[in-house]
Structure 1
Amino acid sequence: MTHNTSTGLTRRALLRAFTATAVAAAPTYSMAAGFLRGGGDIRRIRMYSGRTGERIDMVYWIDGDYIKDAVKEINYFMRDWRVDQVKTMDLRTIDIMAAAHNLMDVNEPYMLLSGYRSPQTNAMLRSRSRGVARNSLHMQGQAADLRLASRSVSQMANAAISCRAGGVGKYYRSNFVHMDCGEVRSWGG
């Protein structure tokens, strides 16, 4: 997935170098769209997966344009690791996640528990838990289940709810928050 350039740098290294300079020069958030207030003119996502050991920390949007290679890496990162299937994630969900992260003013990356789910994985999880929807937005690439060690479920959910852009589920017993780009709604407390 990552190709070497003629200078010996990987594409990922170049993106990270660009990210470091772009974030340092980030403009104010005063012009951000209403539901993405806090998303800013530069959008960055930071996550890690306890299941795969992978980490991602990158700018994926600058001044109204998504960065194609960054989005491709996000899609791969959020794949269904159980069956190794990649789906194009709905970027509205990524935007909600990034905006909520900024609103919480935290440097810690999200722990991604679940991004895209294949129908097979969703059926398996549904057979084990009543909390898994039959027509889950995870299967459409429109949802993510996330955790932060430094923030409570309530703090994370409140940040996502304040975006007024999709669904937010609070799962206190499992210590995670569901964020999606579906209808604006919330559940779990």
Structure 2
Amino acid sequence: MTDGDSTPRGLSRRGVLKAFAATAITAAPTYAGAAGFLRGGGDVRRLKMYNGRTGETMDTIYWIEGDYIKDALNEINAFMRDWRRNEVRTIDTRTIDIMAASHNLMDTSEPYMLLSGYRSPATNAMLRSRSGGVAKNSLHMKGQAADLRIGNRSIYQMAKAAQACQAGGVGVYRGSNFVHMDCGVVRQWNG
């Protein structure tokens, strides 16, 4: 939706967004991407996570009224760092939006558990040597992927929410109980 000019007379932009947000969950599968879905979610985008490996938690509003908040994005970048090497990389906002949109669709207040965000090439190579499920050219190394879990939703519910965004890759890893979300080509797989 664009500003003022395309809003019908008698309705404010905020009123339209509120009305649209009420139908966003049922309408989500028709959207072409997570960013489109989030436009229906109101004027604020939020991301809540914790990391069991580092003990860190994060609950941040990273987008308000059409603008990303630089300090909040920096907080997300630091939180999603390669904790094994303490290396930070910019996380692609498209991935952040997919994660937030998926979380909104699941209608839960429980934060994500982040298993893996950014991975340095060295960390990716180490993990690849231990597991056949780690891609050589993983989008984790570009800051474009996250492996997530949420306690009160199944991995199938998580995957369904992420797939409804129609905005990137969604992998279900049953054996390890997590879902991979990325902003790459739209695709699905089971690991």
TM-score normalised by L of structure 1? 0.82
Partner of 2:115: 113
Task: State the distance in 1 between where 2:103 and 2:114 align.
Answer: 13
- 1:79 Cα deviation after fit: 0.2
Higher relative contact order, chain-length normalized (CA < 8 Å, sep 6+): 2
1:35-86 per-position Cα deviation (integer Å, ceiling 9, x unaligned): 2325432100000000100000010001110001000000000000000000
Equivalent AA in structure 2 for residue 102 of structure 1: N
Pick one of 76, 79, 82 that aligns with 1:77: 79
Gaps of 5+ in 1: 1-26
RMSD: 1.6
Partner of 2:20: 30
1:84-140 per-position Cα deviation (integer Å, ceiling 9, x unaligned): 000000010000000000000000000000000000000000000000000000000
Partner of 2:139: 137
Contact 1:29-1:41 within 8 A present in 2 as well? no
Partner of 1:173: 175
Off by >2 Å, runs of 4+ in structure 1 = 31-36, 38-41
Task: State the distance in 1 between where 2:91 and 2:162 align.
Answer: 18
Equivalent AA in structure 2 for residue 101 of structure 1: H
* Bigger fraction of residues in helix: 2
The structure-2 alpha-carbon separation of the partners of 1:29 and 1:151, relative to structure 1 and needing over 3 Å to count, comes to farther
Partner of 2:3: none
SS in 1 for 2:18: coil
Say yes or no: does 1:154 pair with 2:144.
Answer: no
1:6-27 per-position Cα deviation (integer Å, ceiling 9, x unaligned): xxxxxxxxxxxxxxxxxxxxx5
Aligned 1:25-64 pairs, distance under 5 A:
28=18, 30=20, 34=31, 35-36=33-34, 37-38=37-38, 39-64=41-66
Task: State the distance in 1 between where 2:69 and 2:171 align.
Answer: 29
TM-score normalised by L of structure 2? 0.82
Identity between Structure 1 and Structure 2 (%): 69
Task: State the distance in 1 between where 2:106 and 2:19 align.
Answer: 14
- 1:30 Cα deviation after fit: 1.9
Contact 1:48-1:54 within 8 A present in 2 as well? yes
Partner of 2:68: 66
Partner of 1:183: 185
Task: State the distance in 2 between where 1:174 and 1:41 align.
Answer: 35
Partner of 1:92: 94
Instruction: Number of aligned residue pairs: give it.
Output: 163
Task: State the distance in 2 between where 1:180 and 1:41 align.
Answer: 23
Partner of 1:102: 104
Partner of 1:16: none
1:130-161 per-position Cα deviation (integer Å, ceiling 9, x unaligned): 00000000000000000011011100000000
Contact 1:114-1:144 within 8 A present in 2 as well? yes
- 1:29 Cα deviation after fit: 6.8
